[in-house]
Amino acid sequence: MSWTRRIVNLFRQRRLNRELDEEMASHIEEAIERGRDPEEARRAFGSTLSHREQSRDIKLVSWLDSLISDAVFGWRQLRKRPAVSAAAILSLALAIGATTAAFRLINAVLISTLPVAEPDRLFVAAMTYVDRDGHADYRDDFDYPSFLRYRERVGDRADLIVAGMVESRKTVVVSSATEEETAYLQYVSGNLFPAFGLRPALGRLLTPDDDRIPGGHPVAILSYDYWTRRFGRASSVIGSTFRMGNDLFTIVGVAPKGFIGTEPGSIADLFLPATMNVEPLDKPGWSWFRLWVHPKVGVSPEQVRQPMQAAFAREHHEYLRNFPSDTPKPVIDAYLREKVILLPAASGASELQREYRRPLLILAALVVLVLLIACANVGNLLTAQATARAREMALRVAIGAGQWRLIQLVLVESLLMAAVASALGTLFASWSAPIVVAMLHVPEDPVRLVLHSGWRDVAFAAGLAFLVTLLFGLAPAFRASSVKPMHALKGGEDPHARRRLMRVLLAGQMAFCILVQFVAGLFVSTFQHLSNRPLGFSPYHLLTIYADASKSRPPQFWMEVAHRLRATPGVESVATAGWPLLERSTWRVSVRLPGHPVELRSPWALDVSPGYFRTMRIGLIDGREFRLGDLPPRLDDAKHPLPGVGIVNEAFARTYFDGQNPVGRLVHVLREKDISAPMEIIGYVRDAVYRDLREPMQATLYVPSMERETNAFMVRTVGDELAVAPMLKRAVTNFRWDVRLHDIQPQSNFLRWQMLRERLLAVLSVFFAVVALLLAAVGLYGVLNYSVTWQRHEIGIRIALGARPDQVVQRVMAGLAGTVSFGLVLGLAAGILCGRFIETLLFEVRITDTSSVATPILILLGTALVAAIPPAIRAVRIDPAQTLRSE
């Protein structure tokens, strides 16, 4: 008996006793009123206490007794057939576990709301646009100058809040320590904590007064988690300091427990005033935060959006002046149609959320299919078992059990099974969910998700158990309760109906199973295609390192640093570039060809040093690499164009020169509105992926690097690239103390990072596909086995009359083959229909490819054959003499 039940009973018992006492007392009083002697009346009535006990037992027991006895009986039933029960419970546990794990993930990323006062009244601003391929999209990163303008326009209608992207691994030195350590920090505007209605766990939180003067508020708030982890919840932390770069910050407070920033997927350790992120404050176009909107009481989001939209439209119009005068009209129109929108953000806003929303929902759908397959399995097992139960049920009806009583009996049994399965499943989920989260990250940049097991999880698991019970228990329960004792006791209960139910379940199972196989197949071949796509460069044994010089330095300076790096043992060659390929940083330039109209798809550009193509292993088709002294096309101080040189790739030659060798040709590169500088093409190289693995090769223009404060080194090593990293750091520090290396990453990390989503989808969907296949095989085996049992007399007679084994097998399988094929067709049709929803997640895979359709069919048919062999053997081995005698 559960503790809740006990409490309910206790409560009920007390009330019951009171009522019983009152009723009996009134009886005696009534007697006295009618003139009986009080003494005599009491004696005649006897012991009130014993009557009360008797009555109470009647009331309580009938209420509870049936439940308890059903539970005990159900448990005994489960124990009586351990193999079947274990199979049912395990398959359910697996499915419930997977579902719960998926739910916990989805809850953590998409559902669970921020622990703030009014999560439903929080929005993030975003700007819509249409990308180059015509897809509508939005971006939600803003720059500080536009924030200031929006804030002025919106006035007191709403709080506009800056919430910086959580920055990974900033190096800090805490006052008491000498060692550097890393922390995650988020720049937030001073009004964030008040607008979110948060109270400090210790000290104070940031206020608008902490966020007025750029660089003037060196204060910081710790997250509760970081305070616990790093400082052991010491209250002395208030007033202590830490150093970050050249700035000394004072810790003034601790954020409330549970508030870990605004981005699901990352956890902030430190909150700093936005105005302390000094560098980008006055730089338009330098987008580094999300803009949160909290409308004041009585103000609708739309009333806030309108003034923002007005400001946005005006800026857009102003910026239009920078467009080249011959920009085509559709481009201008599309540009002017862009607008500001407000998105509900009760659950926070992050890249992880955007990128994984659809994949997570698809995985959840797969998981639900697996769960349904498991339910169908258990339903089938129960139905098959029901042959034995039919007599028992008939007996119960014959001795007077009501219909509801029988339904209760079967449901309690299902509930027991579901409860055990839920318990096992929850264990499985708590083990598997963190593994999935671990799969979401590359070593250098862990995704940090809070997988809390709050009331939602408990409610979900409980609700799931209940639903599952209904799903697999209700049909057998109703069937059981409607038995006709006469029929069943005679052994003649209509077996066709039962077989029909099993067939429907089997067809459904096959349909769901092939749907899962189909989707898994699509994701697996997407992952394969993506892994095998030609990159155009070699990402292995290649280290990418960012270097900061404290001021702008010419190419000669950077080449000297590169020489130092190259002198390190284990290094093969070194070059610089503006940023590593596949890092997702981009730069586009507009080019003009004499006699060509302006191009809509302007090429990517990247500034690179001499030796870049050799280091990256990008093939040189013709011409030469850059040399020191080569200059890009540019403007002088009086805005007069100066000629320069460039190197282009094959896609560029295809786009602008019909695929002919472009070496020696001249293009004009637009440097400012309507002013372009001539560029001579001196080299022609192979295509290389620039920004995104999923994109086709893009026209790319490489230019010689110019003065830079920050540069990225590409270091080609002989052996393990990470082993060389510490030596490189030392070599640079010894050479120039003012050059700082950071973000040291193997190039292959970018690759892995970009394939993360596909890897996750492929691995998990294969896992679900295998589980679904196993469950379906068990289900098919069960139904076939039952069908052999049911037909054994007929088979016996046929064998006695001389049927050959193949005829027997055909006889048994014929009906089910139709059911299986029907399920397959249904499932595939559903898969192709649902395909639209997943198409955007696929790469070079089409839903209607023969291999996409044929592979799951073959897999499933193969499995079906394997599952059918044991029952087929059983059918063939039936001994006619024995079966006929048994009747």
Give me the residues that bind other proteins (CB under 8 A), please.
Answer: 19-20, 22-24, 26-27, 29-31, 34, 44-47, 50-51, 54-55, 58-59, 62-63
Rounded CA-CA distance 289/164 in Å is 4
Q: Give the nearest distance from C-beta 23 to other proteins in angstroms.
A: 5
Pick the closer one to other proteins by CB: 27 or 627. Answer: 27
CB of 62 to other proteins, least distance (A): 5
| Whether 381 contacts 38, CB under 8 Å | no
The minimum distance between CB 805 and other proteins, in angstroms, equals 58
With CA atoms as reference, report the closest residue to 272 among 221, 225, 228, 230: 221
| Smallest distance from other proteins to CB 56, Å | 8
The closest alpha carbon to 682, from 620, 602, 625, 616, belongs to: 625
Distance (Å, rounded) from C-alpha 238 to C-alpha 241?
Answer: 9
The nearer residue to other proteins, 19 or 118, going by C-beta atoms, is 19
Tokens of 38: 């009080």
Residues 6+ apart with CB under 8 A from 412: 67, 70, 71, 74
CB of 265 to other proteins, least distance (A): 57
CB of 73 to other proteins, least distance (A): 21
The answer to whether 758 and 775 are in contact (CB under 8 A) is no
Residue 739: how many other CB atoms lie within 10 Å = 18
Q: How far is the CB of 93 from other proteins (least distance, A)?
A: 38
Taking the complex as a whole, the smallest distance from the CB of residue 35 to other proteins amounts, in Å, to 12
- Is the separation of the CB atoms in 52 and 24 below 8 Å? yes
What value, to the nearest 5°, has the Cα angle with vertex 549 and ends 548 and 554?
120
- Closer Cβ to other proteins, 59 or 874, answer by number: 59
Q: What's the closest the beta carbon of residue 792 comes to other proteins, in angstroms?
A: 44
Q: Which amino acid is at 470?
A: L
Judged by beta carbon, residue 22 or residue 152, the one nearer other proteins is 22
Complex with other proteins: residue 21 or 622, whichever CB lies closer: 21
d(CA 861, CA 309): 58
In the three-class reduction of DSSP (H, G, I as helix; E, B as strand; rest coil), residue 703 is classed as: strand
Residue closer to other proteins, measured from CB, 38 or 443: 38
Give dist(CA 115, CA 347) in Å, integer. Answer: 9
d(CA 184, CA 466): 42
Measured distance between the N- and C-terminal CA atoms of the chain, rounded to whole angstroms: 44
Tell the smallest beta-carbon distance from residue 31 to other proteins (Å).
6
Q: Which is nearer to other proteins, 51 or 316 (CB)?
A: 51
Alpha-carbon Rg for the chain in angstroms? 37
Measured from the CB atom, is 19 or 338 closer to other proteins?
19
Of 19 and 181, which CB lies nearer to other proteins in the complex structure? 19
Tell me how far apart the alpha carbons of residues 614 and 542 are, in angstroms, rounded to a whole number.
12
CA-wise closest residue to 276 among 308, 252, 302: 252
In order of 641, 657, 714, the CA distances from 592 in angstroms are: 14, 12, 31
Sign, CA dihedral 491-495-501-502, equals: positive
Question: In terms of CB distance, is 46 or 664 closer to other proteins?
Answer: 46
State the DSSP string of 213-235: STT---EEEE-HHHHHHHHTT-G
- Please say which residue, 45 or 286, places its beta carbon nearer to other proteins: 45
